[in-house]
Structure 1
Amino acid sequence: MDVDSIQDGHYLREHILLSHGDDRNGEAAAEILTRVDLEITFGSEKLLNLEMLLMEIAHRATEIEPLVLDAELISAESVEKVSEFDLLSCILDSEVKELEKLVDSIQMDIGNAEKMASDEDPVSEMNHKVQDATVSLKQMQDLISAIRRQSANFEKVIDPSHDNSGSGASKDGGYENGHVSSHSAMHAEEQRNILQMLDQSIASELDLGKKLHDSESVMEELKLKLHHAEHESFFLEESVEVISERMFAAENASELFLGASKELIDKVNTIQFHLSASIRREGDLKSKLEQSLTKLDGSNSTLENVKQDSEKVSWEAMPSQAQPDYEFLILQDKIQQLEEWLRESKSGLSLTIASTGANEVEEAQNMPRSEMSILKIIVNDLKDAIFRTESRTQNAEAKCEQLSHANIQLNEELKSLKSQGSDRAGLLEKRLKESDTQLEHAKASVEAIVEHQSMLKSSMSDMEQVIEDLKEKYLKAETRAENAESKCTLLTDTNLELSEELSFLRGRVESLENSLCKANQLKVSAAKDIGIKTKTITDLVAKLALERERLHLQIVTLTKKNRMLAQKCKENINEGTLLNNKVTANEGELRPTKIMEEIVPDSSTTRTKVSSCGVLL
């Protein structure tokens, strides 16, 4: 991965932050706080990576410090280390700037969430979450400021070399350019490797943030699924209860229908029994009617015989009118008795017809038999009386008249008896018709009962089908409940796994916090060491400046002395007067030349030292 990919990643992160800022107004406080927590975790992870990078830069700074102090140690490796140090410090500055932007966006989110929480409820969990977020944000700001201070100290380590490199740049520029040109490929590869490592760390941070967000969303989805599963199980239990109640009601209804059908069957059997009994009674009544009709015919024939006998008696009694009075009185008594018996028979017939029903018709039909027997007895008595009165002709006319009156009365009685027999026959016919209608009604009721039984059977079959359907539905509901229970067990297992993952992540967060605390302690100790080293470096720079001024003054004085000695040598050479003077002059020339030879390399070494110090600074 190269610099363009890193710039694209930074652009994407800035775009995400801006989009979060645009959508912030329409979100709820809970969503804002969740996003703030995710951003804080992302920032803390990034701070850990930056602290690791800071420790690496501090280690490299300790390696660079002897190179700054000693100019003789400058080499290709030292130049590479300095360039790597500069590159890492630039990367640290850019990452710190991005973190500052992230902190600003988090601060804006916390302000919005605090306003929403204060509007909703001044004392709630939201306010506690906001306070925790502000505390963690302050810690992040403190860490960022500490990183800023340390990066500024690192810049102080590099800046003196850049400030004081103006004088020696013309002298050593060619060497440095050649060295850098020879190692440019190595720098590019190392830069790419460093950028790849940084991109990988950023990608891991983003992946961790996404995983945290996904895990929270999965937890919420699982909670919703658990809630829905509980509701479904509750509704399934209610439906199962309703179905069981319907099953019990259907069973009770089926039992009631069975009882009602049995009762109806018993009623039908009783009605059939009554119908058979009524048919038998009807046959008995018909036979009794036929017998009564035959008896009436017999009674009519006997009455005709009685009339004929009475006429004969009247014709025979015409000559014998001188009968004694006591016989006539006996006949009158007998006739009165007959009239009384006839009246009693009429009243008995009317009473029996009114009081008795169809079952006592036999008694009403047996009454004419007794009357007929009585009439037969009377007729026999009359015959005896007529045979007795054949010789008596005195009172025959009166007796004939009385007998004629009796015959008239008997005829009337016979007519009345005939009319009563016809009335009885009509009544019997009416009763027969009524019994026929009752039979028809009974048959219709039997047919209706049979139809009702068929309806009951069909309803029973329908109820059996409904019961089977309810049983199938109950089995389906049981299968659904079992599936819901299996889903609940799966959800509980997943919830346990997620809780374990959360506990693992919390332990990891605690370990990261502990590592943060250790890193902060190391950072504080490193800052103290860096401060001490910076003080020593500043003291060394001041000493170097004083040494430089002192050496410069020494060089100036030595050059002046050298010039003076050169002029003196020239004067001595030009004069060359005496040998002694020559010898002395030669000795004097040898000494200053040695001194000059000693002074000139000293000055060249000091110049190289000063120039190298300027380059390093």
Structure 2
Amino acid sequence: MEDHAVCDINVVPSNESGVQELESSMKVLTKVDLDLAYSSEKLANLHVPLVYLLAQQNDLEAMATANNYILADFIEKVLAFNLLSSILDSEVRELDSYMDNLRVDIVDARQKISSCRHLGELYSIMKGKLNDSEESLKQSRQQISEVKMHSERFQRTVLAFAHENWKTDIAMDLSENAQLSNKNAMSNLRMPRQQRHNLWMLEKSLTRELYLEKKLAESRQNEEELKVSFRMEEAAEVVWGRFLEAENAAEVLQGISKELLGRLQLVHFNLNGSIQQESELKSKLQASLEELRAKDTALLKLHDILAENIKKDVELSALREKVMLLEKQLKESQLQLKNVNATNESSEEKLGEMESLVASLKESIYVAEVKAENAELKVAELTGTNMELTEEMSFLKGSATGTEKKVGSLEKQLREVEIQLQHAKASSEASQEQQNMLYAAIWDMETLIEDLKSKVSKAEIKIESTEEQCIMLSETNAELNAEITVLRDRVEYLELSLDQANNAKLASAEELNSRIKLIMDMAMQLAVERERIQNQMHVLTMEKKLLVEKIWNTKKEATECNNKDIDNKELPSFKCNPPSATSIKTSVEDSLRLTFSVFFPDLFVHSGSFFSQFLQYSLNQVDEASAEAPDCDNDAGASSSVNSPTGSDTELDNVEVVEAKRLSLKSVFMVIVLISAIYLLNQEPFLVDEL
């Protein structure tokens, strides 16, 4: 900026406009850099679900090629895969649109930077930075295209798995499973001991599975807490580093502002001194002008004296005309005229020198020369008249008789002329002395004028130097004001950015706390539901054992007692008070809606068809489980048929169906919890970055 500074005070607004253009271009560049950093971070976070989906795709393909997979697990995995692939596809589309907007911002930034070509090095630096951002944008676009290809491949795999007859296939598989369960029930009727052993092993495996699930949940929770604490510490370190950098920058800016204030004070002091010097020089200039005016008045007086001398010379020429009337005094008059001519010539030479020295008195001296020439012409005319008089004198000498009287009169006139000539000599000497005095005064005036001219030139040089210093000081003052404005704007921008960062940190912390509270509430609800299910299963197992013991006791008593007693005995009814199917449906639907609205708001709003399909599938599972579970009336009716061994077996089957129902509900809840945990793990880096 210092190289392009202009030496005029009126150009300061153009410098301010250039500074504003530079600030706007720098703001645009910083915005582009922040957007690129955000997009790259989001793209890096999308690689985690991409890798997970690739692994899930491989597992599904392996399960599809193999024929020994469970259909319910396969459908659950396909649904989870479809959900995650759709989430990934929506995120990739959003990121692609964001990249398009970023491309438009880069084009606008290039147009703004092109207006700052006069900045030189700053323009080259900003252009290089913009080129780097464009290259990073191209790389990120390539990565997005790769992720798009993977997401399209995932959608194709989902479409390949979700063909038109999948519902009929699921129904057929379920019917086949029902037939197999019936066959197994018939075989279990034949093998009660093996069934008890299997039930005991199943309970043992369930307890182990629950214990392992609890340990796994605790380990995951500890891992998540450690990750969150580690990321919070990293974010805190980054924030503290930024705070320290901001404090250091603020201190540096304060020091620079103090230095600039000191420089401004020095500039103001120098400016005041220059103003005082300028006022002193102006006063001296006015004094010199007054002296010049006084000298001009003296020169005018000298001009008046010269005019009087010229008048006296005219009177002398008239006297010479009268003197030349006589022959005797012609020579003397001629000599006197020669002397007068010599004096006139000397006076003319002096007047010429005075014309060369004093240019301002040329006109008046020229008038004096003209008058002197007129006097010479008159002297020439007098000489002519003297010649005529001599001729007349010669003529009169011839006629001496008649002219004696005239001679007497002429002698008288001659005496008068001599007296006048003496007076004229005295006056001419006085005029010569006056001319000498005038020449001396003129010489002194010329020397004074030259001294004054030299002083005036020196004063003008000093004034020019002071004006140049004032211009330089005004330029430096303008530059310092521009720098101070830039620094003030920078400080305000830093303060605003700090406030925005603090507000964003508080908002993200509040959002994180709210989500943590929701997750904790869901975990508590799941734990309570799990404990309730475990208690119900424990109660059912105890009732099952009691029923088996009672059945065996009745069998033993049947061999000993009569048929009438056997007919009158009644087995205690199986008390099953499971929850109704409608309550289970409402609880499942509410939990699914709460989960999708909290953790998947975009999916819940935009893709309602997928949510309805998933909800219908979950409700169908609940209906099937409730349909397979026996009613309390049927159990009471079945308890009346205690005599046959098939009655006890059917009661055991009913207990198993209830347990299967609980397990199916548990599997549905586990799928929901798994999906929410995966989404939260994918979204967790964004929360940490926002902090």
TM-score per shorter chain, which class?
A: 0.3 to 0.5
Q: Which has the higher contact order (CA 8 A, sep 6+)?
A: 1
Structure showing greater Rg: 1
User: Could you tell me the TM-score, scaled by structure 1's length?
Assistant: 0.34
User: Could you tell me the TM-score, scaled by structure 2's length?
Assistant: 0.31
